[in-house]
Amino acid sequence: MKSIINLSFLLLLSALCYGQENPRSTQYIFNNYLINPAITGIDNYTDVKLGYRNQWKGLEGAPVTQYISIHAPIGEDFVRSSVNSFSGRGDNPLSRSYVNSYTSAEPHHGVGVYALTDKAGRIRQTNINATYAYHLGLSYDLNLSVGVSGGVSSTSIDVASVFVDNSSDPLLSADYNNKIRPDVGGGIWLYSPRFFLGASAKQLLGYRSKTANKQTNLSAYQTTNFYITGGYKFFVDEDIAFIPSGLLSYWLSAPPTLDANLKIAYQDKFWIGGSFRNNDSFSALAGFNVASLINLSYSYDVTTSALRSVNNGTHEIVLGILLNNRYNVKCSTRQF
């Protein structure tokens, strides 16, 4: 009986993992780079992010996600010149005055890389991708960037400790469950001082593996993921801004998901917010900046699905480091 329960749990987690395809993030608003390569090099400093997400705390085998990302601009006119109307001492990009004097970015390139791992029960998914983007000013305050990503995606399932009557079942074979495959994506990003709008796709190649008897192996099935996101900045006064945003995610193998987010920011010092994901959770978010080097954000999700009775919520924390920040900016000027 115990072996049957273990196998059932494994298959359940497998369906969950591949139905969801990519790990979710409540704090997508703070690192859209993970879902859209067009963000690569969007600011004139080197952006480093480290993230940790413990989903459904208290539920054994629940997903745990970790990642690190780094991207930077290339182009002397953008990196070394006084772009964005900065005075050199570091203006507040969340002030009304900054928005009124904003100028579009100099044409430039961006390069970056990120590594992400997600473990759910006996299933581990790892993605390593390099990214490239080109940014172009369309008007005095409107910018467009186009980006691509490429790398590898690895999926492994630990079946060594699963006891079944038929150990020769090909579904339990490492040849089918432990795979490294190419991963290609692309995206566009339209942005100004008051709004952003982006569209992207990941895992464009997709894949479908077959077992020895030609039947589909569900643990080795993956489809293209599509994302559309946007946000707008409303000012209450000179230093307080309300920033609503949304993210629509769609997998060919699952129903679409909508994230709605509201962030309230004071200057470039700290912010609070709330988020909602349909048929899944409500969330509270908060963050602050330390000088012009570090920013830290935290979120807590309260589950609204049927899993709410067996977990203690979801914790997520993101640490940002702003390297080579010659204008002493404390938060992103082009991602809200």
* Domain map (residue ranges) of the chain: 22-323
> What's the number of CA atoms in the CB half-sphere (13 Å) around residue 256?
9
Predicted confidence at residue 5, as pLDDT, reads 39
Tokens standing for residue 208 = 């479908």
Predicted confidence at residue 329, as pLDDT, reads 72
- Pick out the chain residues at pLDDT < 50: 1-20, 82-90, 211, 216-220
Q: How far is CA 137 from the centre of its chain?
A: 25
Domain 22-323 CATH class label: mainly beta
Alpha-carbon radius of gyration of the chain: 21
Predicted confidence at residue 106, as pLDDT, reads 75
Interval 103-116: pLDDT, tens: 677 788 999 999 99
Please name the residues in contact with 255: beta carbons below 8 A apart, sequence gap of 6 or more. none
Q: Are 154 and 122 in contact (CB under 8 A)?
A: no
Using alpha carbons, select from 221, 227, 219 the residue that is nearest to residue 207.
221
Predicted confidence at residue 279, as pLDDT, reads 82
**How far apart are the C-alpha atoms of 114 and 128, rounded to whole Å?**
6
Helical H segments across the chain, by residue range: 2-20, 76-79, 96-101, 174-177
Q: Are 206 and 18 in contact (CB under 8 A)?
A: no
Which pairs with CB-CB distance under 8 Å and at least 24 residues apart come from 234-241? Answer: 235/96, 235/99, 237/96, 238/95, 238/96, 238/97, 239/92, 239/94, 239/95, 239/96, 239/266, 239/267, 240/264, 240/265, 240/266, 241/94, 241/265
This model's pTM is above 0.85: no
Predicted confidence at residue 222, as pLDDT, reads 65
Predicted confidence at residue 101, as pLDDT, reads 61
Predicted confidence at residue 67, as pLDDT, reads 96
CA angle 279, 36, 54 (to 5 degrees): 50
User: Could you tell me which residues are beta bridge partners of residue 136?
Assistant: 144
